[in-house]
Amino acid sequence: MRRARALLGALTLALAGTAASCAPPAAPPEPAARPRTPRAPATAARAATPAPSAPSASGAPSASGPSSASAEPAPASPRFPPAAVTPPNERTAAPGDGAWSELAPGLAKTLVHPHAFKKHVVVTVVAMELARLEVHLAAGTLEPEAKGVPAERRTGLVPADQRARLVAVFNGGFKERHGGFGMRLGDDDFTPPKPAACTVVLTKDSRVAIGTWERVAERARESAGWRQTPPCLIEDGAPHPDLKSEYKSRKWGMSAEGKTDIRRSALAVDESGGVLYFALGEWLTAPELARGLLALGVRDAAELDVNYSYTRFLTYPADGGAPVGLVKDVKHARGEYTDRPSARDFFYVLTAERSPRGR
């Protein structure tokens, strides 16, 4: 019995060896796979595919198609009135400083005291909402001097067909002999531009750009008009470096007696470009005017005319009444700008054409 079991075990081992020797040889190992860029998941690929453009009213796809997804969004309308202004100096701030009050639709007013200890130094500011208003430039009958521009194109008046929408008038720039700063209005070149001068540009889409000539020259050539002033008080949010020097700051003008703490005016735009500021400062220097404007958070600012007789901002009531000065003792002739021509250039503000006032 034991012998039979041994023979059976030997036979089993022999058969197992025969089966192993008859199996096909193992396949050789595959070469290492080349590295490949991983494929994005199908869901991500679908998300990246532009959605079909919405059909137009006629049922056809929009002409803008998928490219509209990469177009820059339209800038948001700026807040109006602007946010309250933090007084730059608590010591000289008066009650109500920095709070805005409405002058007229699209116009708001506030006060800023920019001096560290002189309380009589004050800047009265008007904010203008450009989405609701239009700003225009007009030549005076005498200023700027330009022999080549006929008298009928420099009437010194707000055009008669626009007076029903007249909201405000404010002064322009220096006289020709006080710096020779340039101006163009429509197709009329009054004075050629000065390279380093600050330039107020009125674009054809009722916007206002302010900057050194080299910076805005291209826009100025395609604009409705432009007016130059001394170097920009503020550009890209920074004050002009020469304002730090008492001697160099005299390039922004002084009185006939050589005083620098005088009445001054300025025009500025905010970061959005949608709010225009007019500032009228009393008993202040150019650096103090710039300090008051910086408190507003403006991006660019140009000084306009200076001195008591030439600086003004007038608002025109909707009922056709007499204009009202922004501050006391605004010197101007009765009916000037509407019935009596102005010898000096000026800016005037209208309600947007879509919302006439009916004056």
18: left (phi over 0), alpha (psi -120 to 50) or beta: alpha
Checking if the pLDDT of 118 tops 50, the result is yes
Residue 90 pLDDT greater than 60, yes or no: yes
Other Cβ atoms closer than 10 A to 104: 21
- Degrees to nearest 5, angle at CA 210 with 207 and 213: 125
Q: 313: how many CB neighbours lie within 10 A of its CB?
A: 25
Say which range, 70-84, 142-156, 323-337, has the weakest mean pLDDT: 70-84
Task: Supply the pLDDT for residue 355.
Answer: 54
- Residue 163 to residue 316: CA distance in whole angstroms: 10
pLDDT of amino acid 314: 97
Identify the three-state secondary structure at position 22. Answer: helix
% of the chain residues with pLDDT over 70:
77
Q: What is the pLDDT of residue 192?
A: 96
C-alpha span between 277 and 295 (Å, rounded): 12
pLDDT of res. 113: 98
CA distances from 104 to 80, 138, 244, 290 (A): 12, 22, 37, 26
With tokens 């470096």, the residue in question is 241
Identify whether 195 is preceded by a cis peptide bond (ω within 30 of 0): no
Task: Give Cα 300 distance to the centre of its chain.
Answer: 8
**Cis omega before residue 144 (within 30°)?**
yes
Q: Of the ranges 72-76, 127-131, 355-359, which one carries the lowest mean pLDDT score?
A: 72-76
Q: What is the pLDDT of residue 200?
A: 98
Instruction: Report the amino acid identity of residue 278.
Output: F
Residue 215: count of CB within 10 angstroms of its CB: 17
Chain length of the chain: 359
Say what the pLDDT of residue 147 is: 85
pLDDT over 80 (residue 45): no
Which pLDDT band, with edges at 50, 70 and 90, does 357 fall under? low
- Per-residue pLDDT at 216 exceeds 70: yes
> Is the model's pLDDT at 106 over the cut of 70?
yes
> CA dist 137 to 8, 101, 180, 243, Å?
120, 26, 18, 28
- Whether pLDDT at 60 is above 70: no
> According to the model, what pLDDT value does residue 268 have?
98
Helix (H, G, I), strand (E, B) or coil at 295: helix
pLDDT per residue as tens digits for the range 231-254: 999 999 999 999 999 999 999 999
Angstrom distances, CA of residue 250 to CA of 56, 199, 228, 253: 60, 19, 17, 5
Average pLDDT over all residues of the chain: 82
Residue pLDDT, tens place only, 257-314: 999 999 999 999 999 999 999 999 999 999 999 999 999 999 999 999 999 999 999 9
Amino acid present at 243? L
What pLDDT is stored for residue 354 in this prediction?
Answer: 59
CA distance 214 to 199: 9
- pLDDT average, residue stretch 138-165: 95
| pLDDT in the model for residue 307 | 94
Distance of CA 41 to the CA centre of its chain: 44
For residue 211, what pLDDT is reported?
98
Q: Which pLDDT tens digit goes with each residue over 14-32?
A: 333 433 333 333 333 333 3
Task: Please check whether residue 130 is in contact with residue 334, taking contact to mean a CB–CB distance below 8 angstroms.
Answer: no
Q: What pLDDT score does 205 carry?
A: 85
- Give the pLDDT mean for 177-181: 95
